[in-house]
A and B are shown apart, each in its own frame.
Chain A
Amino acid sequence: MRRLSPVAVVALLVILAWAVAAILAPLIAPFPPGRIVTRDTLADISARFPLGSDYLGRDMLSRVLHGARYTMGIALVSTTLACLMGVTLGLTAAARGGWFDMTASRILDAMISVPSLLAALVVVSSLGSSIPVLIGAAAVIYTPGAYRLSRAVAVNIAAMDFVTVARARGEGTLYIIAAEILPNMILPVLTDFGLRFVFVVLLLTGMSFLGLGIQPPAADWGTLVRENIEGLSYGAPAVIMPALAIATLTISVNALIDRIPGAGQGDSR
């Protein structure tokens, strides 16, 4: 493995920092996220409130730390589900071909042609907005992209001579997938996972910003921006900080992917 570039190292550190913050939020947050701790609403940065206070006078640092749990947790679960389903379907389609490949490709390609935010809105209009619904919706919305990528990569590998040799040897489909194809897919699939993670974060925060995502009292970073939006006119940290949190996370993931040697940028959403 080649040495990572300085940009990639910084990006990796930012991602790790947010991950640690999300995991340890209950331990390191100075206040419970829902408690009103000051009368000074939308306050500026101070020693007591390092990220200021929100529109009700709650501590922003505590709310951003707890918000990381929602934003990152939901995105991680959704992305993992989407990639698992996508890779499984993609590998099966590539290995089996025939009617399965045809049907799966047609349906999943049709799903890609529904813009993601639109799809999320349709689901929420019917099922209402709750964390399981959001996770399920995001997972299903991003499965087709993961499917398309893994199928394309797997089809390319399956056409290589070493797979033909394995087939001529008499190997079964499972062995060919597990031992010959999968090990060569790790890098593109990981890259795709990162891209999809960013998409899910953007989708979730966007939904929350519209008021159709995470519902109060729970609050992800998108909700935090929404509920403090009135502070925008004078640049209150309560609206800037969660926005910065989103941007640092997504830019870091994208920058890291961009610096991985040999990893192509996927273009399917």
Chain B
Amino acid sequence: MNTTRSLQDLIKPFRDWYKNRHSYAETWKENHSQQVIGMMCTYVPEEILYAAGMLPVRILGGHEPQDVTEAHIFGMFCPFSRDALAQGLKGKYSYVDSIVLSHSCLHFRQTFTSWKMHLPLKWSYYLPMPNQVQSPYAKQEFQSEVKKFKEFIEKEIGKTITAEALKQGTSLMDKNRSLLRKIYELRKKENPPITGADAVYMAVTSQFISKEDHNTALEALLEKANEFTPSRETGVRLMTIGSENDDVQFFEMVESLPATIVCDEQCAGSRYFWNPTIDAGDPIQTIANRYVDRPPCPTKDYPERKRFPHILNLAKEYGVQGVILMQEKFCDPHEADNPALKRFLEENGIPTLTLEFDSTNPLGPLKIRVEAFLETLSAEELFS
């Protein structure tokens, strides 16, 4: 039996969703007659939205040239924030009824504010997610914010969100998280059956496809997981670290060299789903705690650096030989971490390559640099 082919069949839904995300959401809306909520940043407590029967979809960029945002967001801000706004202004997200931003960085806050100023919406909501998640008061504060958000949604839908519904929303989210963790487990294998590009398709689609559908597709794949033996060469085991960078073409290019991206620490990837909720009694507190405890966006990682040891653990667990630091151009949170992170990784024996990403990227120059990086890694092996 050609297992690789059947694996491709099982990955296909994710690829299709990635490409046809808007028609998926439009169809969902027709079938469910419920609001589709544009979610900005990965700190939005989606549990509340699922409990309310809504579909949260993460607002992402389109990775295509655009000329509609210069009047709204100054060019010193990250291309992602501009690309995502462009998608809105160009009407790609016309099915989105309302938007919610849970605070992480200032750049993307502008996508939210310009969106609410210039696009028709039922409502918009700003959730002040604490910056200082290490503060002993962050959980208490975020609990209060999540509670207010829940009450706001209740007013919107005109009914109470019961504790039972919250628990269902939470377990749906947790199930997705645990399934994605299992997918990532497969990548620890000596010859990972799942490529980094496959993982991007799966992790990113989980941010805008209904978790029910997404879980079903993940389960179908995992059921056959042990049968997979990859027909491709694994090559050098790499990890990507960055933000939203879901540049699948870049991942595919890297993995053709040959190399395999076996793990990531990105908000388009593992940062989004890594930790499940831990029951804290009160269902709102349970949800709030999960976001405070998750692997942080670099902008929230202070006074201590908790991100770095987490990254090092991942690198060790996944047998990573080299790290690609995907620096989104002008992204202050990552720029303020990367030089220190680079030093930290290299002190721990993990070579790094820093590449800068715009919303669209010429693959040629990137390929030359990745090839050179892979060569140095192989050379190190030769001499070690």
Chains A and B bind each other: no
